[in-house]
Structure 1
Amino acid sequence: MPQIYFSLTAGRSGSGWLAKFLSANLDVNAIHEPIAIEDFGTRMPEVRQLRSFNTYGSNKEIQAFWQHKLDALPQDINYAETNHTLGKCGLIEALAHHPRNSDATVIVLRRDLARQCASYVNRHDFILISTLWQWFLAPDYPNRIVNAEPFLKMGQLGAAIWYALEMECRQTYYERCYGDRIRFVNAQLEDVTQPAGAKQLLTDLGVDRTPILPPKTNANSVASSDELVEKIDAVIRTSQFDPESLVSQYIALRGSLDMAERRAAA
Structure 2
Amino acid sequence: MTPTPPRRRTARGLVGGALTAGLLLTGCARRSGVDARADQYPYRAFCTSMSAMLPPEACEGGTDALRARLLDPRTRAALRATAEAPGPGTGVGLWREVHPEDLQILRHTDPSVTGRRLADVLAGREPWDALCELLVTDPQAYVVCHTMDEDDVRAIMADPLVAIGSDSDIPIGPNHPRTYGTFPTFLGGYVRDAGVVDLAEAIRKLTSATASRFGLSDRGWIGRGSVADLVLLDPARIGHAGTYEHPDLRPTGVTHVFLAGEQVIADGESTGERRGRMLRSERR
Whether the TM-score (by the shorter chain) exceeds 0.5 is no
What is the TM-score normalised by the length of structure 1?
Answer: 0.27
If you compute each CA radius of gyration, which structure gives the higher value, 1 or 2? 2
Which structure has more helix as a fraction of its residues?
1
| Bigger RCO of structures 1 and 2 (CA < 8 A, at least 6 apart) | 1
Which structure has more strand as a fraction of its residues?
2
